[in-house]
Amino acid sequence: KKRKFSMQRSEGAENGPRREGQGRNRRRRPQGNGEGRQQPGQGFQGQPQNGNGNADGNKKKRNRRRKPKDGNPQPPANGQPFPPPPQPNLPNQSISGSGPQTIIPMATPSGVSIPGSTTTFASLPISENSKRGIHEGLGYTHMTPVQAATLPIIMEGFDVLAKAKTGTGKTLAFLVPAVETILKAPAVARQSGNRPISCLILSPTRELASQIGAEALKLFTFHDFGITVIFGGRDIKKDRRNLDRVDFLVATPGRLQDHLDNTPAFADRIRKIKVLIFDEADQMLDMGFKPAIDKILTFLPPPAQRQTLLFSATVPRSLIEIANRQLRPQYQEVDTVGEEAEQTHEHVPQSLIVTNIEQMFPVVFQLIADRIRQQPQYKIIIFLAAARVAQYFAELYSATGQPCLEIHSRKSQSARDKASKDFRSARNAVMFSSDVSARGMDYPDVSLVIQVGITTKEQYIHRLGRTARAGKGGSGVIVLADFEQEMMSRELKGLPIKPMPTNGFVAITPSLQSALDRAGDTHDPLNKTAAQSYQAWLGFYNSHLRKLRWDKRTLVEAANEYALSTGWPYAPPLQVHPPSPPSCLWVCTGTLRRRRHSCWWTCG
């Protein structure tokens, strides 16, 4: 029979009623099917929220909707900065958790629990070199609640399915037991040059894999262990040279499968692993790595001959199916999140801005400027839908004279590593990102998360989770074009998101106007980046036609409006690659603002 451990956190924050703003100077928008159109400044589905901060929605109910107690405030005057997002009102509660030891975290003003474990690493039955590595290499003396709940069970030799969030110390929770397991292995097996790999750690992203490798190196300060990290985007020949003397291997599924298929004798070295670890297992499934994982598992020893650890922020049905097949029958489930604590997004102040698509750049840049002015110490992450869109936002922001970082798949791995390191160590920083930083990466002191455009509820929550970590404060804002509001009202229903009033029009600053003028100049590098962002925007929203209830014509009309907002005087030409499957798009060129343009179907 499985043992289950859980830890609880404080309840969600109170939320007030929704507020409505007004919109002005709006041009005609793409209409889609014409149903359910909302006005900028309204909350999701255009309705006030109930007492829990949730939109009632459009479902037919017999109960009448409750009217908010407070009146709707007037939006600020034209050109004024946005008001600060609402702050939560939380009681200072103490919540006791259950598990191998009782952990008592205290609720902070931001609603995030500070680890309150009093258990020290020195009390663990581990080697002295491991204790020195933890204390001198990593600088830790006390365990986090996640470590206190999982380490004793793992060190007993059980397979474990652990539910744990990023930034809670779970990396050390699986590294320390793995080290002790390998130390008990015969010494001869670890001395050969082409020795078998003893521990395999699978990670969904390059950034998270690198982060695990860096922490492992510090832990191994006083051990004679070899470790290497492999992921896509690098020369596979260099990987092969680094695989010679390896005990610990951290890998992304795709690159590991590549080595299993193409690196001589590598499959034989991995058949004798003693510890298999999945980090952010749910994210690997979300990213479509299940076929690669299934193939990798065929090269590994059977579950009875290894210890398997699955760490995941959520436990979907698909992950339970893998656990039942790949973990030994008496595996243990350890829940360090709990049903209440899992809803940490309910404790973070969240705001919504609905605007016209041509106002997207001014609105986002105004939000950044407001936060920089309000807080002397700030770290801001802006999440965009696609890598090229993130790149153009970053380059346009830099063109206004403001420093920023960018991290996305169009950057080289070395550039991404540098941006991640710089953002982590900076006191003040602004970073534009695609979803490579949405999960797994632990950035301290992030004060604001801005999300631009449509997303899924799960991804919204994971992005928001970059802020208000480890007891620190933080907030989130999602910025939507008016035609995205209906879809997102369905997608994010139930979340305590309050509309942030605007006057419907944000003045373009002289520096931004100058940057947009550069983007319209075919001789300026910004021009090419703007065109690439248009193509990426078109491709991203093409994959969401059904949810948006659009047809192809509506998609291209909306994309052309986005193109105008980037500084182009018309929609950039599309580059059709011959290997792509046949498809047709409605393309317009000319001056849409004056309604003098021509359109045609292009098929490739």
Residue 271's CATH number: 3.40.50.300
* 318-322 own/partner pairs: CB under 8 Å, 24+ apart: 318/285, 318/290, 319/161, 319/281, 319/282, 319/285, 320/161, 322/281, 322/285, 322/293
Number of domains in the chain: 3
Phi, psi values for residue 222, rounded to 5°: -110, 20
> Do 182 and 257 have their domain in common?
yes
**Which tokens sit at 306?**
């290894």
pLDDT at 40: 46
Instruction: Give CA–CA dist 409/596, Å, rounded.
Output: 37
Find the domain containing 222 and state its range: 121-337
546 and 454 in one domain? no
Cα dihedral across residues 545, 604, 567, 536: positive or negative: positive
> Does 495 lie in the same domain as 442?
yes
Q: Which residues in the chain come in under a pLDDT of 70? A: 1-117, 186-194, 338-344, 436-441, 470-471, 503-505, 575-604
Residue 89 in any domain: the answer is: no
* Cα first-last separation, the chain: 58
Does residue 110 form part of some domain?
Answer: no
Q: For residue 435, count other CB atoms closer than 10 A to its CB.
A: 20
The reply to whether 324 falls in a domain is yes
Q: What is the pTM of this model?
A: 0.59
SS3 content of the chain, % helix, strand, coil (to 5): 40, 15, 45
**Measured between alpha carbons, how far is 55 from 493 in angstroms, rounded to an integer?**
7
For tokens 């492999």, the residue is 230
- In terms of Cβ atoms closer than 10 Å to its own Cβ (0-12, 13-18, 19+), residue 71 is exposed
H-type helices in 54-166, by residue range?
Answer: 128-132, 145-155
pLDDT value of residue 317:
87
CA 453 to chain CA centroid, nearest Å: 14
Q: Does the residue 221 lie in any domain? A: yes
What 3-state DSSP class applies to 19? coil
Q: Looking at the structure, do residues 196 and 328 belong to the same domain, yes or no?
A: yes
Whether residues 355 and 500 share a domain: the answer is yes
Q: Which of 312, 337, 362 is the last residue of a domain?
A: 337
Residue 576 lies in a domain: no
Residues 403 and 324 in one domain: no
Quote the CA–CA distance of 395 and 397 in Å, as a whole number.
5
* 306 and 355 part of one domain: no
On whether both 207 and 323 belong to a single domain, the answer is yes
Look at the alpha carbons of 127, 97, 11, 54 in this order and tell me if their dihedral is positive or negative.
positive
Nearest by Cα to 382 from 397, 412, 374, 86: 397
Query: What count of other Cβ atoms lies within 10 Å of the Cβ of residue 304?
Result: 7
Cα torsion 39, 42, 45, 48: sign:
negative
Same domain, yes or no: 433 and 553: no
Shared domain check, 552 and 418: no
Of 456, 476, 504, the residue at which a domain comes to its end is 504
Q: Which residue has the tokens 């005087």?
A: 569
Q: Element (H or E) spanning 415, and its range?
A: helix 413-425
CA atoms within 13 A on the CB side of 147: 25
Starting at the earlier edge strand, list the strands of the sheet with 429-433.
Answer: 405-407, 429-433, 379-383, 448-452, 475-481, 350-355, 497-499
Strand segments (E) across 140-295: 160-163, 199-202, 227-230, 248-251, 275-278
**pLDDT tens digit sequence for 273-315:** 999 999 999 889 878 899 999 999 999 999 999 999 999 988 8
